[in-house]
Amino acid sequence: MIDVITAAVGAAGVFAATNLDDIVVLTVLFVAARHSGRPRPWQIVAGQYAGIGALVAIAVVAAAGLLVVPDPWPGLLGLLPIGLGIRALLSRADDDEPPPAVVGSLLGVAGVTVANGADNIAVYVPVFRSLDPATGLVWLLVFALLVAVWCAVAAALGGHPRVVALVGRAGHWLVPVIFIVIGATILLTSGVLPHLAALLT
């Protein structure tokens, strides 16, 4: 018989620890949605679910021994938000027009979520390997619930007057720069750059 409360608390702790940075990404997306209409709020929520779902699915399959996730190559996914940020900077409009949408679709949101959470797989794999099926189901349900909580918090932050005013003034460069910083952080913290350097030398 599993201890549901203990399992739920453990799942919540792991989710929060590995997805704190997602609050920043989601907030930026919700602010962009308010200013440019893209991506739509439902696309942000659905994309977040799709991205987190993909990460968890990969971790579960890897935990079952059916997939080997090469470390640290998933860090190359950091190139995705960098590319999106640079594209938005290059296509930025005049200061009196809405900021350009860095991500404009459900798939785009899912892609950024996967890129931003690629390092989560290293945590999820050993965790899911140690769980029995019933406890694993509790973890999956808690993860699903917390994705909704994360989206609700980010939507609230994205509608805060000060945040909206800041993006209204500086959104043309601030939003793309945030994506570039997120991508650079993924590359730097994943350890993939030294591996690339070793291959090139």
Summarised one tens digit per residue, pLDDT across range 31-79 is 888 877 788 999 999 999 999 999 999 999 988 887 776 777 778 888 8
Predicted local confidence at residue 55, as pLDDT: 93
Higher-confidence residue of 153 and 186: namely: 153
Predicted local confidence at residue 172, as pLDDT: 74
The structure's pTM equals 0.81
| Nearest CA among 154, 64, 171, 58 for reference residue 109 | 154
Q: Is the pLDDT confidence value at 120 over 90?
A: no
Q: How many residues are there in the chain?
A: 201
Helix-strand-coil split of the chain, %, nearest 5: 80, 0, 20
Summarised one tens digit per residue, pLDDT across range 130-172 is 888 889 999 999 999 999 999 999 999 988 888 777 766 776 7
What is the domain partition of the chain in residue ranges? Answer: 4-200
What Cα–Cα distance (Å) separates residue 32 from each residue in 37, 78, 82, 167, 195?
7, 20, 17, 8, 35
Contact status, residue 44 vs residue 29, Cβ threshold 8 Å: yes
